Structure formats: structure tokens, C-alpha cells
Structure 1
Amino acid sequence: MSQDFNAAYWQQRYQQNQTGWDVGAITPPLKEYFDQLENKALRILIPGCGNAYEAEYLHQNGFTNVYVADVAEAPLQRLQARVPDFPRHHLLHQDFFLLQGAFDLIVEQTFFCALNPDLRAGYARKCAELLQPNGKLMGLLFDTTFEKEGPPFGGSREEYRLYFAPYFDFLHCETATNSIPPRQGKELFMEVRKLGS
């Protein structure tokens, strides 16, 4: 893989509005999941958060410990502009793989598919490392292959199980039933719990 998907690469994509993955709002599967969460004090991390509509939704619905991380500064600035009372110290301008902390929930939304596929096993390991006992990782993964070279990079349920099974128990891993129309039948809803919890 010749392209280095580093901070400069993503910053440029945001500055040039080359953000085809961005649907401009929280997607239905994540909204539905968040709506059934009762503990508003959960420590939630959204890595590779992009424009972070998920964080905005959670914040507006009373969740007080939502953290977002991105290597590009532009999307973090956009979130701050849209949601001025979002805590500044919860905006992490940082490489996911260098993050520290202990979270109850990690939310996956178009970050995994943006990573060089060589980093997928490391992503699964890092998620487990960042989660507290009983912590969960949930979100959407593409269950398809793309004609153009990524990002985004596709994959399959079987492939993803290989990455996550060493660190997590699978609670759900099935085709999302309420994806937005362009992604209908091409997304997996995944919820996994850290092993040993």
C-alpha cells in the first residue's frame, strides 16, 4: 500500500471537502443503539471521529463523558463550532494508536474502514486495551468490497471475526437492518464485549 493515510492526508481531505463517507448526521443504527443506553455517565470514545455527529447527538442527550479523537484537526474544530459547549478537553487531536485511558464504550463509525488494512489487527488490540472490564466496542463495519482502491476499505464478517475474537466476546454481528439507503445490506452491526470481563 503506497499511500500513507496520515494526519496531513486526512486534514487535506477535510479542507477540500473530500468526505464522501460523511452523511451529515448520525446514522439510524447508532442512534437506535444510543437511545437504549440508560447510563449517561458512561465514558465513551469515538475514534477517527470525523465530523462527530455521534458525539453531538450523545452530548445533546445528556451524556457527559464523550471523548472524540482524530488525527486531523479540521473535524474537531467543526464539532467545536457546531457544539460550543462540548468540553474542549474531550477533543483529542491524537493518533488513535497512541491514546491512553479507560473507556466503557468505543463507538466505531467509518474509522476502521479508513485505516490501512494492515492496521486492523492492531486496531482490535488497541480497542481492548482502551476498554475497562466489561467494556464494549460497538458500531458499523462495511460488509462489502469496493471497486476503487480505498479508503474506504471493505471486508467481510469472517475476516472481522479473526481480528476481534482474540480480545472480545461477540454479542452481535449481523447485517444492519436500518442502514441508510446507499449502505443497505452492506453494513454489519457489531457489538462485542472485552474478554475476561
Structure 2
Amino acid sequence: MKQEFNAAYWQERYLSNQTGWDTNGITTPLKDYFDQLKDKDLRILIPGCGNAYEAEYLFNKGFTNVFVADVAPAPLENFARRVQNFPKDQLLLQNFFDLQGPYDLIVEQTFFCALNPELRAAYSRKCAELLAPGGRLVGLLFDTTFEHDGPPFGGSAEEYRQYFEPYFRFVHFERAYNSIAPRQGRELFINLQKK
């Protein structure tokens, strides 16, 4: 029987601490990118946010329009306990494909690789739909294959390019130079601007 990666699946992963992707903090490539952002009014979405260390970092730096979305309640509850003054109406217990925009920035961190690969083209289309004109999709994608069945699901820059080209201008789409040690040489840093 084919595994469904639905809310119940992800909730169980969090409740049983099967969260090998969780780095227990913001990763260097995203921290370095966020440190360059000047406009604190940007409307930012972090889909498939998990424990949302990126949202915590942004919020603590004064970005108040950060929205986090996940299908599983456990990571959102973890985040709400950790960042108690974060606005509750910006915690979205929702499927990514049901979200509404517009956003200025979508942050990608281990959500794309958690989706069934059959949904990758739909993910790219939905990101473009959620972004305001000129908005950006920024983050990290695994540029590797995995020996186990996913998630995470791997892939390559060549594969990913075909999903994003119809909707985005490629500002940056290269191997990340500042990945955390376990992911060194296996991540692409992407900065894609909606056409």
C-alpha cells in the first residue's frame, strides 16, 4: 500500500520524535540571507514549517508579518510554546495547497523534499500563485539522492529547474557554500523571483 504523507503521518513523526531533518535551530544559509533583509514589513510565508526556527529568528529580528503553516498541529504547538508572543493568527494549521496569498517572500526549508515528488510541479505553481508580483521563493533544496525511500526525497538541480522555469526568474540557483556540516555539498540555495 502506498504511504500517504498526510497530517496524521506528520503528526505521528513529531510525536514519536522521528524528526531527523530537524536541525534544532536556523541553518546558516537562511540566517545569512535573512541578515541581509532590510524591509521588516515583508509578508513572509514558511510552509511546511516544522518547528519553525526560521520564523523565530525573523520574528526576534523585528519581522512581524511572518506566517507559518503546517498540516500537523504538534510543530505549531512546539513553536507557540517557544515563541509565546508570536501572533496566534499567524500560525496556520493548513495544507499548503489550500493557502491564500499574497506574500512577498516564501521560505523553503525541507518542505519541498517532504512532499511526494509527484507534487513538485504543483508546488512550484502554488508558490507562484501565493507570491505578489516580484515576490521571491528563497531557501534550500537537496541536490542529492537518498539511499532510503523518502521523505526526504532527493533530486537534482536539472530536475528542479524544469518545475520553476515557467513561473520564476532565477536570481540564484547554485550549490550552497555555507551549508551546515551534515548537508555540505548536498544543497542548492535558491532565490527565485516571480515573473
Q: What is the TM-score normalised by the length of structure 2?
A: 0.99
Partner of 1:64: 64
Partner of 1:33: 33
SS at match of 2:170: strand
Counting aligned pairs with the same residue, the percent is 71
> Residues 142-161 of structure 1 correspond to what in structure 2 (within 5 A)?
142-161=142-161
Instruction: Write out per-residue CA displacement over residues 28-83 of structure 1, whole angstroms, 9 at most, x where no aligned residue.
Output: 00000000000000000000000000000000000010000000000000110000
SS at match of 1:124: helix
Do residues 24 (structure 1) and 24 (structure 2) align? yes
Instruction: Write out per-residue CA displacement over residues 9-46 of structure 1, whole angstroms, 9 at most, x where no aligned residue.
Output: 00000000100000100000000000000000000000
Do residues 186 (structure 1) and 186 (structure 2) align? yes
Do residues 9 (structure 1) and 9 (structure 2) align? yes
SS at match of 1:174: strand
C-alpha distance in 2 between matches for 1:65 and 1:9: 29
Provide structure 1 residue ranges, at least 5 long, that are not aligned to the other structure.
none
C-alpha distance in 2 between matches for 1:99 and 1:14: 22
SS at match of 1:140: strand
- Which aligned segments of 4 or more residues in structure 1 are displaced greater than 2 angstroms? none
SS at match of 1:126: helix
Offset at residue 101 of structure 1 (A): 1.7
The one-letter code of the counterpart of 1:119 is L
Q: What is the TM-score normalised by the length of structure 1?
A: 0.98
